[in-house]
Amino acid sequence: MVKLGDVLLKTSTIKWSYVESDISFQYIDLTSVSRFTHKITETNSINSDNAPSRAQKIIRTGDVLFGTTRPTLNRFCVVEDTYNGQIASTGLCVLRANDEKILPKYIYYILTTPRFVSYVEEKQRGTSYPAVTDSDVKGFELDLPPLNEQQRIVAKLDAAFEKIDRAIEMNVINAQNSELLFTNSLEDIFSIYNTVHWQSRAVSDLGRVQTGTTPKTSEKANYGNYIPFIKPGDYMNDGTLNYQHDGLSEKGLRSGRLIPANSVLMVCIGATITKVGYSDREVSCNQQINAVSLDDELMSKFVYYQMKTSSFKSKILNEAPKTTLPIINKGKWSKLMLKIPPKDEVDNIVASLSVLSDKSVSLRKLYSFKSVQLKLLKTSMLHEAFSESAVK
């Protein structure tokens, strides 16, 4: 049994006062290390004049980096030749293998094991920004097999994971394509249909226009059959909503903060402005969301689909003031114009798009499920590779 730190070499930090300002380095911070590909992605160029205080650690080819801030996000990678001699943040633990005792890639795979993940979960401290120290990471204990056994394990995992990762990547692409299929169909329907004879109507003419109001803390409680509280972050990519938050008290409902079922909700302030969702149940929402509530479910769905189109979103952005915080207030929201066709066309369009939407959601769930199964396979293979004889 050895500690990880016992099989590592010492690393060094840069002395910026000794570095000429015309010499630049690539800076690898926490966000430079992808949680998904476990490779270094975007970096910034720094020198002695503009280097942030956390830019301290000199890295070498073959070093293993592990993010110690929010360690359960699993930001780790092996440093490639491109970043030899560059600078990493103090938020990354640099693990430099003593190649007479341990392989760099063996360290990399150890960081992926459930046992190591559980270890850092127990060691992390803090609430807003939970973190572990470099000493915590290097204190992880393992049974170390001979180098030839490490090479066998690494070769086996490399070969298997390459195929699994390729399959996961294809699932992601297929899920994106299924979403794109619906989006393209949506745009086609609203551009191909002869909208000349469609009637232009303001949002306020179609239903009750409302803005959300953030409930007081004392009012965020369940009431009756549970009224969810919707925020901009609760919008899913497919327009569905996350209904997991507390709703309103009876007092809050009396104050008019309830959004009825069959309402269209759009984020009308901030970075996610134009994000639109459809709610088939009663909800409450905060001040960043405006809503239009219609009695006719099919018409409500039609409005929702039209508000998802790029042309309507462009209209929203054109109406928003050109400031750092774009906003569509209730007045502008109520005056936004939509094109409304005869009732039979509304019914046909909604029926067609609902079928396509359901199919798209179903495919994305299927590909997501397949990806989860493949990730579980990787976990199983890691458990097998690092059995009791390898990691205890």
* DSSP states along 60-113: -TT-EEEE-BSGGG--EEEPPGGGTT-EEETTEEEEEE-TTT--HHHHHHHTTS
* pLDDT one-digit tens code per residue, 84-96: 999 999 999 999 9
Cα–Cα dist 266/273, whole Å: 8
Q: What is the pLDDT of residue 239?
A: 62
CA distances (Å), origin 189, targets 197, 300, 334, 346? 15, 17, 25, 11
Identity (one letter) of the amino acid at 127?
Answer: T
pLDDT at 355: 93
Kindly state the average pLDDT of the residues 212-235.
60
pLDDT reading at 389 higher than 50: no
How many Cα atoms are found within 13 Å in the side-chain-facing hemisphere of 14? 29
Percentage of the chain beyond pLDDT 90 is 48
- Residue with the bigger pLDDT between 242 and 382: it is 382
The average confidence (pLDDT) of the chain is 86
For residue range 129-167, list pLDDT tens digits in order.
Answer: 899 999 999 999 988 999 999 999 999 999 998 899 899
Residue with tokens 């769905």: 301
Which pair of structure tokens corresponds to residue 61? 């080819």
Q: How is 246-278 classified by DSSP, letter by letter?
A: ----HHHHHTT-PBPSSEEEEE-BSTTTT-EEE
Give kind and range of the element (H or E) at residue 2.
strand 2-3
- How remote is the C-alpha of 356 from its chain's centroid? 25
Share of the chain above pLDDT 70, in %: 88
> Pseudo-torsion of CA 50, 55, 61, 62, nearest 10°?
-160
- The model carries a pTM of 0.65
Q: Output the pLDDT for position 269.
A: 84
Report the interhelical angle of 343-385 vs 114-123 (nearest 10°).
100
